[in-house]
Structure 1
Amino acid sequence: MVDDDLRSTLERVGEQFNLGEYEIDAYLTVLEHGQLTASEIADRTDIPQPRVYDTVRSLSDRGLVELRETRPMRIIAVDPDEAFSMVRSSLTEMVDELEARYTAPARDTEAVSLVKSRSTILRHLSDVIEAAEYELILSLTPELLKRFDEELRGAIDRGISIELLVTPAAEAPSPETFDYGAVSTVAKARRGITTPIVAVGDGEYSVYATQDAIRDDRDRYGVIFHRSALGFLVSGFFGTVLWTTAEPLAANGEGRPFPRRYASIRRCVKDVYELGGEFFATVEGRDVETGEALVLSGRVATVELEDTEEVAAMVLDTGEGEVTVGGRVAALEQIEAHEIQIDRDEPPAR
């Protein structure tokens, strides 16, 4: 069902712009001269004299001209900025709502959606944050950080792990003036106005957009990934290219409770490595050679994490032998992990 407010906006805009040929000729002529009589409009256009009065009254009803009931009646142009101020605001809001409606069906049916609407990109960013169940990675401008502040605080309150990259670094709020711990688990800042806007929820629902697209440059674009196999491209790019070249701002993740869930093995291995001690894991993924889906549980025997964080892996002791676990599109390890849960005392139940 169409929203009543949207329907009213469409009707209001349609009424103001639904001008006939005579109305257009009369309106442009009055605009050009400032004010005219009905006879002067007839002399300067092809509008028949008997139709002039109906035409200018129609323009008056739309707020485009003012009628002075003198003898003869004078038709005075209203400043277009004033005449169209309401419809200009309504039109902007209406287009945003219509674009959101138009792109909505593609979200459930297409693996990849290419969008050029700022409002649609912003809507998907909001959806990624709201839909996340346990993990978010984000690259946002300071403006977007402010825009989604409340939603990010809500995600932290839900126990979501959030890696936040703010760019460009020169415009990022300082930790002394902004509480990054309230909106992220770990926050970093990265130089460069070309750093893209990125959002990935639980390693699946992903958004990649240029900063120009967020500034409403019509020549730019955003890409929406709806399936995890493709969303991994965004997550991998974020982890290896963006995150590793950023400078720390704040960290607030040490007190996160267990068990913890991860879509990225890099984040899981990093936590295990930094926290130390014994860990147990349950891994949902597939066999690298056969593609068979499987779930494995056991003790984390060892982890591997390069200084650049570009390579991360773990060895899981299942009780029947040791198994090597890698991330998405793993080749060297035995298991490609799609989701990992860790706990201190025993393997987490699925």
Structure 2
Amino acid sequence: MVDELRQTLEHVGERFNLGEYEIDAYLAVLEHGELTASEIADSTDIPQPRVYDTVRSLADRGLVELRESRPMKIVAVNPEDSFGDIQASFAEMVSELEARYTAPTRDTEAVSLVKSRSTILRYIEEIITTAEYEIALSLTPDLLRRFAPQLREKIADGVTIELLVTPASRAPDPAEFDYLSVATIARARRGITTPVLAVADGEYSIYATQDALRDDQDRYGVIFNRSALGFLVSGFFGTVLWTTAETLAADGRDRPFPRRYASIRRAVKDIRELGGEFYATVEGRNIETGNSIVIQGKVVDVAFEDTEEVASFTVETPDGPVEIGGLVAALEDIESREIRIGRNEPPGQIDN
């Protein structure tokens, strides 16, 4: 099986290993149906002495036919005939490669630096598809269209999605694009300097420059695999990017309770905006002792600034009021790691 896969790889590689001259000549012949060597030289940048070697290479690959007339004519072969045999080989090869693929564990390193566009895109997709209840996203319009199918699936599964589209000048018109099919709330922000980022459940996240998704030299992405560092991306998204964007669409009032949150800012915003009585179950740790703790009770107060630099709420417990903060909280009593908010009673205790 290993030898067969290697042979398939070699076969596919040989067929597609076309040089610049071969590509130019092939496209020219495809466009015109047939050409002479002189016509190929005239319509491309291929030097006349190189044309014959180039078209013979294409003929050896079955991409064109050479008709020995005077002058010789290079005739296009229907691409379906040229590549029909390779399609089956390619599909089989991909299947075999997937069977051998071992997904890299994200727990080995807290931070990873990646410089490959395809790797950045793969991680963004993985972050979206692995999210259980909350996603924060900053995407270009092209990336929004690319990942729209996965986002629609997550919305259908009840995942909360805060979507930022940048630059705003190229964001799809809300009259023509259904933002609420891919996001709970969508905003647009000016500037190509706005980074691309994705955060799943406040933990697994990636931050990349827009340049990293073009052909520029300054390309990089940073992957944060643990919540102790990944919350930095989420915090940056919430306080710097989100607050400087204009709303395109929102449907937060339509989602049922109880709701689950990784970000205290999102929890507090919902409590403030929706009004009424709320109850909370919070899994976190005491900021002074570091001990893990679960707090349950009625939400009796909230603190929030429009800049989102401050966000907290207070829960009334049998032992008295307890103030809940976000990750790395210092002023509140509890650093929350996961929050559940309900309407009539504290939601069921979070499973560890």
TM-score band w.r.t. shorter chain: 0.7 to 0.9
**Amino-acid identity (%):** 64
Q: Which moved more, 1:147-156 or 1:57-66?
A: 57-66
The whole-number CA distance in structure 2 between the counterparts of 1:212 and 1:263 is: 29
Aligned residues of 1:329 and 1:336 also touching (Cα < 8 A) = yes
In the other structure, the counterpart of 2:49 is 32
Is residue 134–residue 160 contact of structure 2 (8 Å, CA) maintained in 1?
Answer: yes
In structure 1, stretches of 5+ residues that fail to align are: 19-29, 37-56
Q: Match for residue 325 of structure 1?
A: 324
TM-superposed deviation, 1:217? 3.0
Aligned to 1:49: none
Q: 1:31 to 1:221 in 2, by over 3 A?
A: farther
Match in the other structure for 2:31: none
Contact 1:66 1:78 in 2 (8 A): yes
Instruction: Summarize deviations over 1:244-285 as a string: whole Å, max 9, x none.
Output: 111111111101111100000000001001111111100011
- Paired letter, 1:180: Y
Task: Quote the residue 2:12 is aligned against.
Answer: 12
Verify the 8 A CA contact 1:134 1:159 in the aligned structure 2: yes
Contact 2:303–2:311 (CA<8 Å) still a contact in 1?
Answer: yes
Shift of 1:181: 1.1
Match of residue 253 from structure 1: 252
Secondary structure of the equivalent of 1:120? helix
Residue 266 of structure 1 pairs with residue 265 of structure 2: yes
Deviation of the 1:136 alpha carbon: 0.6
Alignment root-mean-square deviation, CA: 3.7
Does residue 220 in structure 1 map to residue 252 in structure 2? no
C-alpha spacing 1:227/1:10, structure 2 compared with 1 (3 Å) = farther
**SS of alignment partner, residue 148 of structure 1:** helix
From the superposition, tell whether residues 116 and 345 of structure 1 become closer, same or farther in structure 2 (CA, over 3 Å).
same
Give secondary structure in 1 for the equivalent of 2:254.
Answer: coil
Name the CA shift for 1:299/1:11 in 2 (closer, same or farther; >3 Å). Answer: same
Q: C-alpha distance in 1, partners of 2:6/2:243? A: 45
For 1:45, the equivalent position in structure 2 comes to none
> 1:286, 1:335 within 8 Å by CA — same for their partners in 2?
yes
- Aligned match of 1:180: 179
Alpha-carbon shift at residue 7 of structure 1 (Å)? 6.8
1:31, 1:77 within 8 Å by CA — same for their partners in 2? no
Matching residue's letter, 1:342: I
CA positional deviation for 1:58: 9.4
User: C-alpha displacement at 1:228, in angstroms?
Assistant: 0.9
**Rounded Cα–Cα distance in structure 2 between residues aligned with 1:156 and 1:187:** 13
Name the aligned partner's letter for residue 296 of structure 1. Answer: I
How far 1:186 sits from its partner (Å)?
0.9
- Classify 1:58/1:255 alpha carbon distance in 2 versus 1 (closer, same or farther; 3 Å): closer
Residue by residue over 1:26-67, the C-alpha shift from the partner in whole angstroms, topping out at 9 and shown as x without a partner, is xxxx9835449xxxxxxxxxxxxxxxxxxxx99974569988
Aligned twin of 1:40: none
Contact 2:286–2:293 under 8 Å retained in 1: yes
Shift of 1:238: 0.3
Question: 2:219 and 2:258 mapped to 1: Cα distance?
Answer: 41
Question: Are the aligned partners of 2:66 and 2:75 in contact in 1 as well (CA < 8 Å)?
Answer: no
Query: In the comparison of the two structures, how many residue pairs are matched?
Result: 307
Instruction: Please tell me whether the aligned partners of residues 106 and 113 of structure 1 are also in contact (alpha carbons under 8 angstroms).
Output: no
Change (3 A) 1:246 1:77: same
Query: Map of 1:242-321 to 2, 5 A cutoff?
Result: 242-321=241-320
**What displacement does 1:137 show?**
0.6
Say whether the 8 Å CA contact 2:167–2:190 is kept in structure 1: yes
Q: TM-score, normalised by structure 1?
A: 0.76
2:193 maps to amino acid: T
For structure 2, list consecutive stretches of 5 or more residues without a partner in the other structure: 19-46
> In the superposition, relative to structure 1, how do residues 287 and 6 fare at CA in structure 2: closer, same or farther (>3 Å)?
farther
**Secondary structure in 2 matching 1:338:** strand
Which residue does the alignment assign to 1:145?
A: 144
Q: Which moved more, 1:143-152 or 1:4-13?
A: 4-13
Q: What amino acid does structure 1 have at the position aligned with 2:235? A: G
User: What per-residue deviation string (whole Å, max 9, x for no partner) do you get for residues 292-341 of structure 1?
Assistant: 11111111110011122221011111121111110011111111001100
Are the aligned partners of 1:326 and 1:336 in contact in 2 as well (CA < 8 Å)? Answer: yes
Question: Deviation of residue 76 (structure 1)?
Answer: 10
- Deviation of residue 8 (structure 1)? 2.5
3-state SS in 1 of match to 2:329: coil
Separation in 2 of the partners of 1:275 and 1:64? 64
Report how far residue 215 of structure 1 moved: 2.0
Corresponding position of 2:169 = 170
Instruction: Please give the secondary structure, in 1, of the residue aligned with 2:232.
Output: helix
> Structure 2-normalised TM-score?
0.76
The answer (yes or no) to whether the contact 1:207–1:225 under 8 Å persists in 2 is yes
- Which amino acid in the other structure matches residue 12 of structure 1? V
